[in-house]
Amino acid sequence: MASDYVIVGSGSAGAALAYRLAEAGRSVTIVEAGGSDIGPFIQMPGALSYPMNMARYDWGYESEPEPALNNRRLVVPRGKVLGGSSSVNGMVWVRGHARDFDHWAEQGAAGWSWADIAPYYRRMEHWHGPGASDWRGDDGPMHIRRARQWNPLMHAFVEAGRQAGYPVTEDYNGAQQEGFGAFDMSVHKGRRWSTANAYLRPALKTGRVTIVKGLARRVVIENGRATGVEVATRGGVQVIGAAREVVLSASSINTPKLLMLSGIGPAAHLAGHGIAQVADRPGVGQNLQDHLEVYVQYAAQKPITLYRYWNLPGKALIGAQWLFTRTGHGASNQFESCGFIRSAAGIDYPDIQFHFLPIAVRYDGKAAAEGHGFQIHTGPMRSRSRGAVTLRSARPEDPPEIRFNYMSHDDDWTTFRAVLRLTREIATQPALAEHVKHEIQPGDALQSDDALDGFIRDHAESAFHPCGTARMGAADDPMAVVDPELRVIGVAGLRVADSSVFPRVTNGNTNAPSILVGEKAADHMLGRDPLPRDGRAPWIHPDWRQAQR
């Protein structure tokens, strides 16, 4: 018997969508290629560098050689596990700036302006921050806590931002994003609060949600309507029927791949792989974008960094404390201080983000630099470069080809150089300078534009925020893939609900906006009126036209 809905992917948007549909009495089947998320590598926040580098939990994708980055192939982690990428991400909680969503609406995503989506953020959040805030939710499934900023360096970074002339913001997810402050994280009672914990498990308890483990091969489309999903399971290939609709929530990499395997995409590309065309949508797989970042690293004057635990006994101590008490350093992602600033006067809202980390180490946790140190992850938020996800073959088992075309727009280089110079300026402020022994990378010798460009080519890495490959827009927009109700244009009974639909990447980490898409998709699918709009305007620097800070 067919479920009302079949959702491909149990991740950020898919789990939220399944929960809301089940809550409304609908039956849902979720197709998920990955396995269980139970285990300390996922559930312990401090172990975040492990799951995204484990074949058990990650699709193992990498980009094609990137021409502007010395032809390096960059890793593209995507969660292959219950909870999807919310089970392998860095747990940094950033809604995005209000202007991001206003831009979406201007691009044809009617009903997705900040005033429209702010109430959905409140519906999904249970914020455990200091004091009450009518900008934040207090009874939603997603428990969000404010970082405690346990290390003196975390406070020094925020104070250095203030000394450099930037504001300090009490809540970058509230009225004012611009400035320096404490991060929010999706951590609850010491555990990673993924959508598997927040949404999926409560949804399963309703008895109306079923999970089928297998690889989705294609959407079954009959007479122009999606009727189910063909899935390869251990028992063989089967079709899971959908009485109402099919929803792809398979990530900005796998969703366009599935659309194209199902005959929905650029006609010539489909024909080149022998795939029968169902709908010619040239935007499928296009508009790929991401955040690129570098680590500006410093050797520390004082032995107060996390490097003191960078040994087997130290890691065992943190692990044991977390296992028995769910407290200590294992209960934090360690990204506890942040900053959002503008790179130049004339830019109305932040286009640079900082993540501060009290150790100098690679994201994959495989190399620490020069003993005690700290680093600032930083990069531009609104690159103008665009890439694409395309089919490698017509075989569902084969990974797609992923080309970001990083740094392919001249403006990216100008902004990235500004990023590096502004970061260095912050490190020279008294509050942080007293902790700096020397700059590890880029290193004091690299000062010219050419030298900084070389550093970027050698060291820039993805911040793991790919999106945009099934862009939302007006139904008559030839490059839009879904309309503002997330319905695939040209195919009945089929929607997309994940970060693929973003017209443009949001300002900051993309997990919260991805969940937002699942929350709002549910109301569209259930035929509900949208939540009442919130007409409050966010804080914008009053002198942004003339002043950079």
- The single-letter DSSP state of residue 405 is -
Q: Distance between CA 170 and CA 147 in Å, rounded?
A: 12
- The single-letter DSSP state of residue 36 is -
3-state secondary structure of 79: strand
Task: Give buried/exposed letters for 284-319 (b at 16+ CB in 10 A, else e).
Answer: bbbbbbbbbbbbbbbbbeeeebbbebeeeeeeeebb
Q: Distance between CA 358 and CA 61 in Å, rounded?
A: 29
Question: Sign of the C-alpha dihedral, residues 253, 259, 262, 264?
Answer: negative
SS (H, E, C) 243-304: EEEEEECCHHHHHHHHHHHCCEECHHHHHHCCCCCCEECCCCCCCEECCEEEEEEEEECCCC
For residue 152, whether the previous peptide bond is cis, meaning omega lies within 30 degrees of 0, is no
Q: How far is CA 41 from CA 51, 62, 91, 306, in A?
A: 6, 22, 13, 19
- Asked whether the beta carbons of 251 and 86 are under 8 A apart, the reply is no
Q: Report CA 228 to chain centroid distance, whole Å.
A: 28
- Asked whether the beta carbons of 212 and 29 are under 8 A apart, the reply is yes
Give φ, ψ of 307 to 5 degrees. -60, -25
Closest Cα to residue 482, out of 465, 459, 466, 499? 499
Q: Are strands 184-185 and 142-146 parallel, antiparallel or unpaired?
A: antiparallel
Residue 240 corresponds to which tokens in the numbers above? 């899971």
Residues acting as catalytic residues: 465
Cα angle for residues 383, 387, 388 (degrees, 5° grid) = 150
Residue 268 corresponds to which tokens in the numbers above? 């010539």
Q: What DSSP element (H or E) covers 217? A: strand 215-222
3-state secondary structure of 181: strand
Q: Name beta bridge partners: 295.
A: 377
